[in-house]
Structure 1
Amino acid sequence: MGMSFAYGPTDQRSARATLEHALELGVTFYDTADMYGFGDNERFLAPFVQAHRDELVLATKFGIVLDRDDPSARGVRNDPGYLRQCLEGSLTRLGVDSVDLYYLHRKDPAVPIEDTVAAMAELVREGKVRHLGLSEVTGDELRAAHAVHPIAAVQSEWSLFSRDVERSVVPAAAELGVAFVPYSPLGRGFLTGAFSDAGSELSEGDYRRTVPRFTGDHARENAGLLEPLRRIAEQRGVTLGQVALAWVHQRAAAHGLPVVPIPGTRRPERVAENTAAARLELTAGELAALEPIAARVAGDRAADMSLTSAARE
């Protein structure tokens, strides 16, 4: 997402080098969406995907509707005709005949999830999609969808700052054998320790300026919660981001879940750092020191919580 949308200006040359370096390091899962820059991210990925199609797992999403006249506006559509239109658009922009994983990006409260998944399943039968995924759904919604067609993966925000998914959807995914794809496992960058005053340090067009956790007193309070990560990072000779990612891997393992965190980055050196975190194992004492953080976080994880699973639990 960050290569084309939401996080301010991007150096396209560095972004392309990041994709290539990720593949060199064994990263094979590439996750985009039709709403990232009004399709710009899919177009950006197309040459890389076409050059390496047999080497990678390609995921994209539909369901969030943007307004070009109001960049902050978000709508949701899940109706069958719209999802087919979205997939055809994604395939065209990506320059491929099929995608490996197709997500419902956000659930429309006006459309039963069973109806949407049944329509998505038709795309599987047609060979345009290999597997189905859901994003920001509750445990009950996952079970209802899975009863219509197997769901391969659930994507939701999950990190040291955001653990609401552990109430409902994480147990359901473990029960059903569904993989979990944590987005923003670094708290949209906050858990890397990169910000001391997030509101003033982010560029004017950066989406995070609207996220409550990055604004005003909330940002200052949350910056203070990083001390346990700093201590662990210093003792281990690693970065705060690696500690945060290691926590996600081990928390998922504790739930019996296969997990594929997607820490977005635009720089090759960050890819190397992030992949190395998968080999870091935190001790019981370190995990205990990190345990209280989420309960103390100030501010919501999204500017509009109505689009999250937490709002429906």
Structure 2
Amino acid sequence: MTNQPRILFPGGPEVSALGLGTWALGGPSAAGTQPLGWGARYDRAEAADVFRAAFDSGITLYDTADAYGTGTAERLIGETLSGKRDQITLVSKWGNTIDEEARQLTGQNAAPGYVRAALQASLRRLRTDHIDLYLLHLSGLPVSEAAELLGTLQELVVEGGIRAYGWSTDDLELAAAWQGQPGFGGLEFEINVVHDAPALVELCETHGVPGLARGPLGTGLLTGAHPAGSRITDEQDFRRVSPEWLNYFRDGQPVPELAEALEAVQHVLTSGGRTLAQGALAWLWARSPTLIPIPGARTVAQVKENAAAMEHGPLAGEQMREIDALLLAARAEG
């Protein structure tokens, strides 16, 4: 059973059931001494090839941000896909301030006036005249401050610089704050088979808005590339240093209880000829029709593997129930 295309937001473009997350494709960057990239090895030409392979594999949704490689991911989209702009859908984010030359995140700016400056910079890098869905990238901004942004965002929708706006946040109160506002298009939040987000899924289903599934492969944990006991040693890999917001790795090692939970359900995820990563994506499609996974990829082989998950479609109901029971048992034992 193949996956049918989704509508990104009411009245918005039709997109593939799977998007491409582009954080890793931006290459190395940092916030002070905290690495934000995926390792010291980075080949810009290879990253460009990933974008082309994604398009050739049927992926039409591209999720990026000005913070990804401090503009590099957006620039690569512009360089590789600008000639296909009428065939792709772009999601980008703002709120972080960047020093492109130094490849540093320098702070945050939630001022209404900054939205326009950030948007214009992203449009130049993306080589386009509009962004389809523009997301606030400050996941913990107080609701009162977020409310001050609405007027500017709605003006940008009317002017055509963006088609819709939304929020990348895992906070339920913040995620609910803009629901029903003119021009609101959807949410992005972290969810996967070992890290569910039931309240956020319910919010999307209740309001009929999409949920872009961030971290669908658990920053690599759900691909099987990092089994229990393994360690990431590259000090330029953010998973090695373990920022406090990282849920899946501690000091470069998989979090034991999550690795154990994955081991408990791996045989279900890989049934039907799926790879482990494809099974994790299939779980999300079965979890809710509002969810659109946006897995990252650093190689052509990875993006082709992820795209091939669309051919398998979602897990069946009985598989989802089996996974629920196995996860419940694994957590009880832990």
TM-score where L is the length of structure 1:
0.82
Check conservation: 2:57, 2:304, Cα contact below 8 A: yes
Which residue number corresponds to residue 274 of structure 1? Answer: 306
Instruction: Give distance in 2, aligned partners of 1:295 and 1:106.
Output: 35
Q: What are the equivalent positions in structure 2 for 1:225-236 lying under 5 Å apart?
A: 225-233=261-269, 235-236=271-272
Instruction: Give distance in 2, aligned partners of 1:247 and 1:172.
Output: 19
Cα gap change, 1:182/1:110 in structure 2, threshold over 3 Å: closer, same or farther? closer
Q: What are the equivalent positions in structure 2 for 1:90-169 lying under 5 Å apart?
A: 90-107=122-139, 108-109=141-142, 111-136=144-169, 138-163=171-196, 165-167=197-199, 169=200
Comparing 17-26 with 187-196, greater Cα deviation is found at 17-26
Check conservation: 1:199, 1:219, Cα contact below 8 A: no
1:83-140 CA-to-partner distances (Å, cap 9, x unmatched) read 1111111112222221111111124227532221221111111111111121105444
The one of 218, 224, 227 aligned to 1:193: 224
Check conservation: 1:21, 1:271, Cα contact below 8 A: yes
1:257-292 CA-to-partner distances (Å, cap 9, x unmatched) read 2x2210010222222221222323423342233225
Cα gap change, 1:88/1:296 in structure 2, threshold over 3 Å: closer, same or farther? farther
Cα gap change, 1:178/1:235 in structure 2, threshold over 3 Å: closer, same or farther? closer
Cα gap change, 1:102/1:230 in structure 2, threshold over 3 Å: closer, same or farther? same
Cα gap change, 1:244/1:114 in structure 2, threshold over 3 Å: closer, same or farther? same
The one of 28, 32, 46 aligned to 2:64: 32
Check conservation: 1:134, 1:151, Cα contact below 8 A: no
Instruction: Give distance in 1, aligned partners of 2:330 and 2:265.
Output: 14
Which residue number corresponds to residue 247 of structure 1? Answer: 283
Q: Which runs of 5+ in 1 are unaligned?
A: 298-313
> CA shift at 1:49, angstroms?
2.9
Which residue number corresponds to residue 213 of structure 1? Answer: 248
Which residue number corresponds to residue 259 of structure 2? Answer: 223
SS at match of 1:148: coil
Which residue number corresponds to residue 55 of structure 1? Answer: 87
Instruction: Give distance in 2, aligned partners of 1:251 and 1:86.
Output: 34
Which residue number corresponds to residue 305 of structure 1? Answer: none
Check conservation: 2:284, 2:293, Cα contact below 8 A: yes
1:7-35 CA-to-partner distances (Å, cap 9, x unmatched) read 11222222222211211121101111011
Comparing 76-85 with 227-236, greater Cα deviation is found at 227-236
> CA shift at 1:75, angstroms?
4.3
Cα gap change, 1:283/1:125 in structure 2, threshold over 3 Å: closer, same or farther? closer
TM-score where L is the length of structure 2:
0.78
Check conservation: 1:18, 1:271, Cα contact below 8 A: yes
Cα gap change, 1:36/1:229 in structure 2, threshold over 3 Å: closer, same or farther? same
Instruction: Give distance in 2, aligned partners of 1:34 and 1:122.
Output: 21
Cα gap change, 1:111/1:36 in structure 2, threshold over 3 Å: closer, same or farther? farther
1:282-304 CA-to-partner distances (Å, cap 9, x unmatched) read 2334223322548968xxxxxxx
Instruction: Give distance in 2, aligned partners of 1:50 and 1:71.
Output: 24
Work out the percentage of aligned pairs sharing the same amino acid. Answer: 31
> CA shift at 1:181, angstroms?
0.4
Instruction: Give distance in 2, aligned partners of 1:63 and 1:112.
Output: 12
Check conservation: 1:199, 1:215, Cα contact below 8 A: no
Which residue number corresponds to residue 32 of structure 2? Answer: none
Comparing 58-67 with 95-104, greater Cα deviation is found at 58-67
Higher helix share: 1
The one of 91, 114, 117 aligned to 1:85: 117
Give, as a single letter, the amino acid of the residue that structure 2 aligns with 1:214. F
Which residue number corresponds to residue 264 of structure 1? Answer: 296
Comparing 119-128 with 74-83, greater Cα deviation is found at 74-83
Which residue number corresponds to residue 306 of structure 1? Answer: none
Cα gap change, 1:156/1:103 in structure 2, threshold over 3 Å: closer, same or farther? same
* Counterpart check, 1:237 vs 2:301: no
Which residue number corresponds to residue 51 of structure 2? Answer: 19
Find runs of 4+ consecutive structure 1 residues off by over 6 angstroms: 67-74, 294-297
Give, as a single letter, the amino acid of the residue that structure 2 aligns with 1:20. R
Instruction: Give distance in 2, aligned partners of 1:67 and 1:221.
Output: 38
Instruction: Give distance in 1, aligned partners of 2:284 and 2:320.
Output: 11
Instruction: Give distance in 1, aligned partners of 2:229 and 2:236.
Output: 13
Count of aligned pairs: 291
